[in-house]
Amino acid sequence: MAEDDHGYYSDDSSTTSMSDSVDLTYMCIGREYSDYFKEYLLVYLPCWYLPLTVHSLPVDEEELRRLEYQHDLRFLISQDEKLYQAPLCDPGRILDIGTGTGVWAIEIGDKYPSAEVEGIDMLHLQPQMVPSNVRFVIDNLENLDTYKNNHWHHVHARDLNGFLSDAGRFSRDVFDILAPGGYFERVELDRWTIPQNKRYPCLSAFHRLLTQTLKNPLESSEDLVQSLEKAGFKSIQKKEWTIVLSKGNSSLEYFIQSLYVYGLRFFTDDLQWNILEFNIFIALIRNEIMAAGFKLNLYSVYGQKPSTGL
């Protein structure tokens, strides 16, 4: 393992692959996608089970920038510059599920240098130079029931709405692997619950077309609270924020980019639109938002696994 000037270590062995194809990519409509989901589709799951959004997100530099911006937006603007809302007290073992670029895991690793931090994701989007207390593992979050019980002191999952085949089971699996007294926190952008509103005809159509084909259920903040309650979590707290999108602000560009990447494969592959039609549709949505403004809702829900009585 080599240490750089900032005390970061590069260790290829800390990132393990479920498949050699995890780093292979292919180009489609000018964007780069992971080959891994092709194999995943064939080997691990029957087609009907695969959520549309999982295999349709790119893995290129542009997407990494979008995810980094998303992190900054939430962390700096919407989450009061905090990495979490739960009342953590020096957690020893921290797990970030669906870690993406790994930015949250790296920052929490910097904040708690004595903690052991692990980020898991099906995609290899994480950097190689990471703090020595952070590691990334390529794994499927559907496998949490194979993880050690009562182990983690804090489990974090952000932006998984629509990726979970069974959100209730996910909460129960996390409950099992958390140590008594540990916290589970989920942070979600409520981008899916766009009201059918006359001021946004194209955005409403985008939302309706995309969500009616999703295989996985979408959760509201209330669904999330209920799934934590059912799993056995206590002291559940919910916090909500609003991000205002308007002409000229960078949050609007981020939102448009998000619609673009979530919709690109669906509209062009599944609905057989050509790319020009899709680009025009996105431009019309941008105009609607610039004319009428728009608010995005963001929420965090956390709960604690009881220390006793288990």
Question: Reduced to 3 states, what is the DSSP secondary structure of residue 149?
Answer: coil
C-alpha closest to that of 67 among 118, 126, 154: 126
Site stretch for ligand SAM (CB under 6 A), options 85-93, 119-127, 175-183, 231-239: 119-127
34-73 positions binding ligand SAM, by CB under 6 A? 54, 67, 70-71
66, 73, 85, 100: which one contacts ligand SAM (CB under 6 A)?
100
Query: In the bound complex, what is the minimum distance in angstroms from residue 2's beta carbon to ligand SAM?
Result: 26
SS3 call for 89: coil
Collect all residues with Cβ–Cβ distance below 8 Å to 29 and sequence separation of at least 6: 264, 265, 268, 275
Pair of tokens at residue 82: 């905090």
Which residue has the CB atom at the shortest distance from ligand SAM?
Answer: 100
* Token reading at 20: 């050699």
Q: Return the number of the residue (142 or 253) whose C-beta is nearest ligand SAM.
A: 142
Whichever of 100 and 182 has its CB closer to ligand SAM, that residue is 100
> Please, which residues have CB within 8 angstroms of residue 232's CB and are 6 or more apart in sequence?
172, 175, 305, 306
Chain-centre distance of CA 101, in angstroms?
A: 10
Q: Coil, helix or strand for 310?
A: coil
CB of 90 to ligand SAM, least distance (A): 23
**Distance of closest approach, residue 141 Cβ to ligand SAM, in angstroms:** 4
Site for ligand SAM contains 219 (CB under 6 A): no
Binding to ligand SAM, residues 66-85 (CB under 6 A): 67, 70-71
Which of 124, 163, 175 lies closest to 303 in space, CA to CA? 175
- Within residues 141-200, the interface with ligand SAM by CB under 6 A covers 141-142, 158-160, 163
**Which residues contact ligand SAM (rule: CB under 6 A)?**
54, 67, 70-71, 98-101, 121-123, 125, 140-142, 158-160, 163
